[in-house]
Amino acid sequence: MSPTPTPTETPASTSAVAPPEDASSGDTVVGELVQAWPDPTAEEHTQEDAEGHHDDAPLSWIEPAEGEAVRVPTESLPDVAVGSTLAVTVGDEVVDEASAAQGFEPAVEVQSATVVDAATPDPTTASAGTAPTNTVTAVLVLPAGASSDGMTIGSVLGTINGVVSSFWDEQSNGTVRLTAVQGAAGWVRSSKDCSNPYALWDDVAAQISWSGGAGKHLMLYVPTNASGCAYGLGTVGTSIGSGGRSYVQASALSVMAHELGHNFGLGHSSELQCNASLESGTCQMRSYYDFYDVMGISWGQVGTLNTAQAARLGLLPAGEQV
C-alpha cells in the first residue's frame, strides 16, 4: 500500500469522473465522506478485547451524488471532517480488518485525495419544545439469505417512540424530540447483505421511496440470522439535525439510542486506564469501556450521556464548561 496521502483543499471540478461501480485503479470518484461505526454485542466486544484485536475505528465511504458509495480505509483520510466533499483517486482493493475479520467488502486504496468542499460543524439550533425535531423511518429488512423472526414493525415503532424518544428527550433537556414512522407494513426483502451496508441502505431506501435530509433517519431492523451483520451500525452525522442511517439487530433502548447517537455526530465513550503510579506510570485508552454512558458498551444497563459527549452536541450550557 502506498503512504497515506495528505488531502489538499482546492475548488476542484466535480465533473468527468468514473461511475463508482465502474471505478478501477487510477479513476477519480467525487463524493461526500461518510463514516459509520460497527457495534458488537457486549459478549463480542469482551472477546475481541481479550484477544487484543478490537479495532475501534469507523468505516469510511465516499458517497457520490449518483451511483454506489465506495469504501476506503479510514486511516487514509485522517484529517478530513465527515461531510466534506472529496475528489479521491482510487487504487487497488485493500483487505483490512473490516473485510478480513468482520465480513465487509474490501475497501479500495486512496492514491490521492483533494478536498472539494470542506464540511463545517453544524450548530445545534433546536430548542426545547414539543414538535418533533427528528423523524426515524423504521423498516423490517431481510438482507440476502436471511429469514424473518418474530419481530413486528409495531414493536420497533413502540420502542423508538417510547423509551428511545424519552431517553434522548431527557438527555437533551427537550432539544431532541424523536418520532418514528413505519417505512413499510411488513418485511422488506433485499438482494443486498451486510457486507455492503451502504448498498443495503440504498436498496431499502429505493424500495420504500425514502430520501435523506435534515433530521431524517433511516433505521433498519435486521434479524440475528442475517449473515455478517454487526449488532448495530450507524453513520456519523455532523450535528443533532443532520440525519443519518443505521441498522440494529434488536428492538432495544441501548442499541437504538446508541446508533442514533452516531447519527447525531458522536463517537464512542471510552475509558482512560492508568496504573497506580500516575507520575511515572502509563495510561491506555480502552475503547467502549465507559460503562455509564450510552455511547459506551452499556448494553445491559443504559448509561446517561456524559458531559464530554453532551458538549460535543452543543447541549452543555457555557456556564457549566471550563
DSSP 168: H
Tell me the backbone φ, ψ of residue 264, rounded to 5 degrees.
Answer: -75, -10
Beta bridge partners of 40: none
226 domain-assigned: yes
319 domain-assigned: no
In this structure, are 254 and 144 located in the same domain? yes
In this structure, are 73 and 106 located in the same domain? yes
DSSP 86: E
In this structure, are 252 and 275 located in the same domain? no
In this structure, are 223 and 275 located in the same domain? no
Determine the 3-state secondary structure of 220 from DSSP.
Answer: strand
| One pLDDT digit (tens) per residue for the chain, 322 residues | 445 555 655 444 433 455 455 667 888 999 999 999 988 876 665 555 545 445 568 999 999 998 889 999 999 998 899 999 999 999 999 988 888 878 899 999 999 999 999 987 665 555 556 678 999 999 999 999 999 999 999 999 999 999 999 999 999 999 999 999 999 999 999 999 999 999 999 999 999 999 999 999 999 999 999 999 999 999 999 999 999 999 999 999 999 999 999 999 998 886 666 776 666 667 776 666 666 788 887 667 788 888 888 988 988 877 777 7
Cβ proximity of 3 and 110 under 8 Å: no
Per-residue b/e over 147-173, b at no fewer than 16 CB within 10 Å? eebebebeebbebbbebbbebbbebbe
In this structure, are 145 and 244 located in the same domain? yes
Q: Three cell numbers at 198?
A: 451502504
Beta bridge partners of 90: 110
Q: Where are the alpha helices (DSSP H) in 195-283?
A: 197-208, 253-263
Rounded Cα gap, residues 308 and 176, in angstroms: 17
Residues of the domain holding 281: 268-311
| Integer CA distances (angstroms), 288 to 8, 50, 52, in order | 32, 14, 14
In this structure, are 212 and 229 located in the same domain? yes
Task: Count how many domains the chain has.
Answer: 3
Q: Where are the alpha helices (DSSP H) in 34-96?
A: 42-51
152 domain-assigned: yes
